[in-house]
Amino acid sequence: MKSKIYLIFFIFGFLSIASLAYGGQGFYSLEYPPINGIIWEHLEDGDVFKILISSTDFDFNYAYLQNPYRFFIDISPINVNLTKTEIPIDTDGIIRIRIARQSEDKIRFVFDLTGPIRYKEIKKEDSGITIVFPPRLKELRIEKNSGRVYLNVVSTHKNQLNPEVFFLGNPDRIVIDIPDMTLMYDNYLSPTSSPEIGISQFSIYPPSVRIVLKNGVKNEWSIEEPKEAGTFQISLPVLQTADATKPVIILDPGHGGNDPGAIGPSGLKEKDVTLDVVLYMKGLLESSGYQVVLTRDGDYNVSQNPQSSRDELNARVVIINNHSSAILVSVHCNSAYSPIPGGIEVFYYREEDKVFAETVCSSLVDATGRYNRGVKRAEFFLLKNTNIPAILVEALFISNPLEEKLLMDPLYRRKIAGGIVTGILRYLERKK
């Protein structure tokens, strides 16, 4: 185990006297609980960061940002003397921690990242806040020898990997699910690599990475003995390149960034649910051989300079209309002023998309067992201004306490994702 402890020191007596003498100019009130330091532990199952705070009377918010990738957490009310504003980490995708004052009582901690690294857990404790990052997928290498292809998986995990490897048909592919793992980079292999390989963050909570070897052959792979901890090797025969003739599937997780969407009675945000569901859907669809495009894959605004919700929607429309041979599914959670309404409904704009909406609605109701509110025509901006088959799914009412509780459950979110994906595949099969 490798541990590093970084402490931010405070001279409490001096600051108190100076604050009185200078009327607070350049100093900040010590009525707020102080930060006592930051502890970083590089453990077998990931990296643990502890922000030590001398109180439990504080709140926090957090989010992911892109371009460049970073994760931040805002804590308030707390106090800190910003004599040290940057802590180098330089380990497996976590570059540094930057510390900045957002207001008199709010401090922001920014984790600069090399890619879409997801956290595993954030918890408030008596000693402060603990943030856990799971092990990262570090490298994929392809080697060819004696008519076989060897895929080498290298991670930061300190123990032996236990991936689940299985075969799926129509189209044929070999799927590798690696639990307790997050991506470290956007790209690992050349787009022209052979065999064709898809890599995705299959789920966030709990974190898992999915690797799909396209055009795989059933029972024709073998798992090699790992040479060291955190590695995995699978070998398979050299195969032909996959035939990419299927339509692109565009998934739009509703809201994001400074727009939380609807908020449930317990504080669950629509933007978090929709992103998680869409990431599950992406993994399932890629496992079925489809190219998937997301309008967003993190908690951020799609528009570079959003002045209104219309700017944000326009930015999404631009992404969608860049693909002509595609279909669109926008995922949302419903909401009402009353806590009573519940169930599932799906919206469409063009009459020719009604069957698409009906197919997905039926599959989602079957998967979740929730009330079927049916399909409806609506003049939503995203549906009206895209040039491809498009529907908008309202998956349960976040304003309904019972359905909010269901939406909080990662396994239930998988049910929702599976139901929508089943509907998409049924619709595409009927179109053939």
Burial environment of residue 377 by CB neighbours within 10 A (0 to 12, 13 to 18, 19 or more): middle
Least trusted range by pLDDT, from 100-114, 229-243, 314-328:
229-243
Is the sign of the CA dihedral 271, 273, 274, 280 positive or negative?
positive
Q: Where does the pLDDT of residue 174 fall: very low under 50, low under 70, confident under 90, or very high at 90 and above?
A: confident
pLDDT digits (tens, 9 = 90+) for 70-80: 999 999 999 87
Q: Where does the pLDDT of residue 408 fall: very low under 50, low under 70, confident under 90, or very high at 90 and above?
A: very high
Q: Is omega for the bond preceding 77 within 30 degrees of 0, making it cis?
A: yes
Instruction: Say whether pLDDT at 15 is over 60.
Output: no
Residue in 67, 73, 164 with CA at minimum distance from that of residue 121: 73
Q: Say what the pLDDT of residue 307 is.
A: 73
Print the domain residue range for 311. 248-431
CB 288 within 8 A of CB 425: yes
Q: What is the pTM of this model?
A: 0.56
**What is the CATH classification number for the domain harbouring 285?**
3.40.630.40
- Whether 148 is covered by a domain: the verdict is yes
Q: For residue 141, what are the contacts with CB-CB under 8 A and spacing of at least 6?
A: 151, 152, 154
Q: Where does the pLDDT of residue 30 fall: very low under 50, low under 70, confident under 90, or very high at 90 and above?
A: low
18 and 105 part of one domain: yes
74 and 103 part of one domain: yes
22 and 120 part of one domain: yes
Q: Say what the pLDDT of residue 91 is.
A: 85
265 and 396 part of one domain: yes
> Which of 30-34, 118-122, 128-132 has the highest average model confidence (pLDDT)?
128-132
Q: Where does the pLDDT of residue 11 fall: very low under 50, low under 70, confident under 90, or very high at 90 and above?
A: very low
Instruction: Say whether pLDDT at 219 is over 80.
Output: no
**CA–CA separation, 34 and 7 (whole Å):** 12
Q: Where does the pLDDT of residue 288 fall: very low under 50, low under 70, confident under 90, or very high at 90 and above?
A: confident
Domain boundary among 91, 107, 133: 133
Quickly tell me which residue has 């997801």 as its tokens. 118
- Whether 242 is covered by a domain: the verdict is no
Domain boundary among 133, 149, 165: 133
357 C-beta neighbours (distance < 10 Å), count: 27
172 and 121 part of one domain: no
Q: Say what the pLDDT of residue 244 is.
A: 56
Token pair recorded at residue 71: 């994760």
184 and 314 part of one domain: no
157 and 106 part of one domain: no
DSSP 171-229: TTEEEEEEES-EES-S--S-TT-SS-EEEEEEETTTTEEEEEEET--TT--EEEPPSST
Query: Rounded to 5 degrees, what are φ and ψ at 229?
Result: -60, 145
End-to-end CA distance of the chain: 55
Distance of CA 310 to the CA centre of its chain: 24
Structural domains in the chain (count): 3
**What is the CATH classification number for the domain harbouring 218?**
2.60.40.3500
- Whether 243 is covered by a domain: the verdict is no
Q: Where does the pLDDT of residue 67 fall: very low under 50, low under 70, confident under 90, or very high at 90 and above?
A: confident
263 and 335 part of one domain: yes
Instruction: Say whether pLDDT at 10 is over 60.
Output: no
Query: Rounded to 5 degrees, what are φ and ψ at 286?
Result: -65, -35
408 C-beta neighbours (distance < 10 Å), count: 16
227 and 259 part of one domain: no
CB 82 within 8 A of CB 106: no
Query: Average pLDDT of 216-220?
Result: 65
Domain boundary among 105, 133, 161: 133
Q: For residue 324, what are the contacts with CB-CB under 8 A and spacing of at least 6?
A: 387, 388
Query: Average pLDDT of 357-378?
Result: 97
- Whether 207 is covered by a domain: the verdict is yes
- Whether 420 is covered by a domain: the verdict is yes
**CA–CA separation, 250 and 302 (whole Å):** 14
- Whether 335 is covered by a domain: the verdict is yes
264 C-beta neighbours (distance < 10 Å), count: 22
CB 413 within 8 A of CB 204: no
Q: For residue 129, what are the contacts with CB-CB under 8 A and spacing of at least 6?
A: 50, 51, 53, 60, 73, 75, 122, 123
CB 202 within 8 A of CB 414: no
| Three-class SS of 332-361 | EEECCCCCCCCCEEEEECCHHHHHHHHHHH
Residue in 427, 372, 411 with CA at minimum distance from that of residue 395: 372
366 and 265 part of one domain: yes
129 and 150 part of one domain: no
Burial environment of residue 132 by CB neighbours within 10 A (0 to 12, 13 to 18, 19 or more): middle
Least trusted range by pLDDT, from 102-106, 277-281, 303-307:
303-307
27 vs 408, more confident: 408
99 and 184 part of one domain: no
Quickly tell me which residue has 């805002």 as its tokens. 74
